[in-house]
Amino acid sequence: MLNKISIKSVLISGAVALTLAGQAYAYEPARSAECIAPANPGGGWDFTCRSVGKVLVDQKYIKGNVQTVNMSGAGGGVAFAHTVSKRSKDDNLIVAASTATTTRLAQGQFPGLNASQVKWVGTLGADYGVIAVGKNSKYTSLTQMMDALKKNPGAVKFAGGSASGGWDHLKVLIAAKEAHVTNLPKIRYLAFSGGSEALVQVVGGHIDAFTGDISEVKGFMESGDLRVLAVMSEKRLPAPFNNIPTAKEQGIDAIAPNWRGFYVPGKADPASYAWWVKTMDELYKTQEWKDIMAKNGLMPFHKSGAEFTAFVNKQTKDINTLSKEIGLIR
């Protein structure tokens, strides 16, 4: 009798599991979806929502339309709180995110909120970090620059387009930490209102080095006014950036992708979450999306589902640790 009951239980459990697995891929999305861009029109999150929304409709993943809703405030915090508190079960909502999202979560800038309160769908490209100098700089490699910082952490003055403790600042600190530079708070960083302003200061010889993203430096590279010492990617980027050495190949294991991606509400149906993950996986491979990436300077970078969730958790933890080390947070 016990054996019969056990066998029956196993068969029932197996049937339920198969049914749930089938539901994950049999999920039919609503005719329309909404994408929250946690900033005003014109920025990176707005671009992510509008460009991905267009591909979702063009490729007929969504039969109706994808409406972009701009919800600025608190560097993405207003949109995150709105999703968690008011839209926690909305299967037809996606929210644009990037490394700025994980940075603010890591630094506690979204009070009472954390990365586990949403479901992380996937990334659709990245803008990799770079460290660059003017054409007349004495520094010719990232290793040489880091050696100078080891002797004196204030030896190099960096300029970037984010606030102190923001992503541009953190790129330098990530590289310095991996290079075993001590006394990270002593590294000098000047914040400008944007990458272009910071670049002008470096190209003009007023500041030693630029920290920003690869998409920001192309023009100055082509004119010969800027020398990129390293790109913080896993491997060399495609042309026209293929001649830039990675930090990794210079013995400094520093990776800094400013990824573009999405999360969905934390209590969204598992079947709808599986559909969004699968859809973003497929969308990333379409020629239409590849063309958008090329036109807008996005580099290959794709993680989704469980892999992306693990990546977000690690990035958040690493940024939290680094922010504590420089005294930005306790």
**From CA 215, how far away is CA 329, in angstroms rounded?**
30
| Residues 27 and 271: beta-carbon distance below 8 Å | yes
Q: Are residues 119 and 267 in the same domain?
A: yes
**Per-residue confidence (pLDDT) for residue 218, from 0 to 100:** 86
Q: Are residues 136 and 85 in the same domain?
A: no
**From CA 234, how far away is CA 246, in angstroms rounded?**
7
Q: Which two tokens stand for residue 81?
A: 């709180």
Q: Say if 21 falls within a structural domain.
A: no
**From CA 121, how far away is CA 272, in angstroms rounded?**
11
**Per-residue confidence (pLDDT) for residue 9, from 0 to 100:** 44
Q: Say if 173 falls within a structural domain.
A: yes
**From CA 95, how far away is CA 86, in angstroms rounded?**
13
What is the span of the domain harbouring residue 295?
26-126+259-325
Q: CATH code at 233?
A: 3.40.190.10
In tens, the pLDDT along 59-75 reads 999 999 999 999 999 88
Domain end, chosen from 219, 250, 281, is at 250
Q: Are residues 151 and 106 in the same domain?
A: no
Q: Which two tokens stand for residue 169?
A: 């600042």
Q: Are residues 177 and 287 in the same domain?
A: no
Say how many C-beta atoms besides its own lie within 10 A of residue 232's C-beta: 26
List Cα–Cα distances, 139 to 62, 87, 147, in angstroms: 51, 51, 10
**Per-residue confidence (pLDDT) for residue 26, from 0 to 100:** 63
Phi-psi domain of 160 (left: phi exceeds 0; alpha: psi -120 through 50; beta: other): beta
In tens, the pLDDT along 92-139 reads 999 999 999 999 999 999 999 999 999 999 999 999 999 999 999 999
| Residues 65 and 32: beta-carbon distance below 8 Å | yes
Residue type, 4: K
Is 9 or 86 the better-scoring residue by pLDDT?
86
On the question of pLDDT at 22 being above 80, the answer is: no
Count Cα neighbours of 79 within 13 Å in the Cβ-side half-sphere. Answer: 28
Domain end, chosen from 227, 250, 273, is at 250
Q: Are residues 154 and 110 in the same domain?
A: no
* Pick from 88, 86, 75, 80: nearest CA to 114: 80
**Per-residue confidence (pLDDT) for residue 285, from 0 to 100:** 98
- Domains in the chain: how many in total? 2
Q: Are residues 147 and 102 in the same domain?
A: no
* Pick from 216, 258, 301: nearest CA to 103: 258
Return the minimum-mean-pLDDT range out of 1-15, 130-144, 182-196.
1-15
**Per-residue confidence (pLDDT) for residue 5, from 0 to 100:** 43
Domain end, chosen from 216, 250, 284, is at 250
Q: CATH code at 83?
A: 3.40.190.150
Q: Are residues 265 and 300 in the same domain?
A: yes
**From CA 253, how far away is CA 247, in angstroms rounded?**
6
In tens, the pLDDT along 196-249 reads 899 999 999 999 999 999 988 988 999 999 999 999 999 999 888 999 999 999
Return the minimum-mean-pLDDT range out of 20-29, 48-57, 198-207.
20-29
Place of tokens 């001590």: 182
**From CA 322, how far away is CA 301, in angstroms rounded?**
23
Q: Say if 330 falls within a structural domain.
A: no
